[in-house]
Amino acid sequence: MRVAALLLALLAVPAPVAAGEEVVAGLSRSAISITANFDGSDLIVYGAVKRDAPAPSDSRLEVIVTVEGPSTPITVRRKSRAFGIWVNTASVEVDRAPSFYAVATTGPLDQILSQTEDLRRKISVPQMIRSVGAPQDIADSPAFTEALIRVREANGLYSLHEGTVNLAEDTLFRTDVDLPANLVEGDYRTRFILLRDRHVVAMTETAIYVRKVGLERWLYDLAQRQPAAYGVLALAIAALAGWAASTAFRLLRNG
C-alpha cells in the first residue's frame, strides 16, 4: 500500500518544464533622417539569447532577422508588343507589398525554417506579399507577384542574405543590413526570430523611424499640401537651371 501511495504521489507531481529562450535585441539606430544628399545607410542589428537554464544540446539554434518597410497596394502590369509598340495588356492588383524587405539568416532559409512556420509568420519575401482576387482571365497571376519581386530585388528593395547572421556560442548574434537610398518614409518593422528544429521558439520586434528632414521635408510637404505652388516652383527652378547653363556655355564659347 505504501508503495502504491508513493507512486501515486510521484505521478501527481508535474514534470519539470524545460526553460524557454527569449531574445533581447537592439539596433545601432532607431531613427533615420532622409536629407537631400541621403545615399543610404548601414544598420547594425545585434542581440543576445536570454535563458534560465543551459541551452538545449539536442538541437541547433538558428536566428532570422527581417527588416520590413511600410506596405502599400500596387498594380503590376504586363506589357506586350502590339502593332510595333509596347502596350499594357494585363494587370493584377497586389493588395499588400512592403516597400522594402530584407531577410538575414544564420543558414539556408529552407533548411532552418519550415513551410508551416513561414506561412504562419510570413518570413520569406513571397509570403510578405499578399495578392488575392486576380482577374479570372489571367491564368498565371503568380507570375505578376514574381515579376514584382524581381524588379524590387534589382532595385535593392528586396533581399535575402543567408548565412550573414553571426551567432557566437549560441548566445550573441549580429548582422548588418544595408538600407538603400530609395527608402520611403514610414515606420520600419524589425523582427528577431529564434528557431530550433525549423520551428520558431521566440520572437520580438522593434521599429525604425524613417523621416524626411530639411529641404526634403519642406519639398515633400509643399508637394502634398500645395501642389500648384510646387509645380510653379519646379518650373521656375527648371527655367533658372536652363538659363544658367546657357549663360555658362556662352561665356565659355566667347572666352
pLDDT at res. 8: 37
The sheet with strand 21-27 has its strands ordered as: 21-27, 41-51, 172-179, 166-168
Note the pLDDT tens digit of each residue in 97-119.
999 999 999 999 999 999 999 99
pLDDT at res. 133: 59
Angle in degrees, CA 154, 166, 110, rounded to 5:
60
Q: What is the mean predicted confidence (pLDDT) over 134-151?
A: 76
Query: What single-letter DSSP state applies at residue 163?
Result: T
pLDDT at res. 197: 93
pLDDT band at residue 63 under the 50/70/90 scheme: very high
**Whether 175 contacts 192, CB under 8 Å:** no
pLDDT band at residue 176 under the 50/70/90 scheme: very high
| Region of poorest pLDDT, from 61-70, 194-203, 227-236 | 227-236
Residue ranges per domain, the chain? 2-212, 215-255
pLDDT at res. 136: 60
| Region of poorest pLDDT, from 5-9, 32-36, 87-91, 241-245 | 5-9
pLDDT at res. 132: 65
Residue with cell 542574405: 161
Residue 153: pLDDT over 80: yes
Query: What single-letter DSSP state applies at residue 113?
Result: S
Note the pLDDT tens digit of each residue in 38-58.
788 889 999 999 988 888 888
Strands 101-105 and 158-161, bridge-based pairing: parallel
pLDDT band at residue 217 under the 50/70/90 scheme: low
Q: Which fold has domain 2-212?
A: Immunoglobulin-like (2.60.40)
pLDDT at res. 101: 96
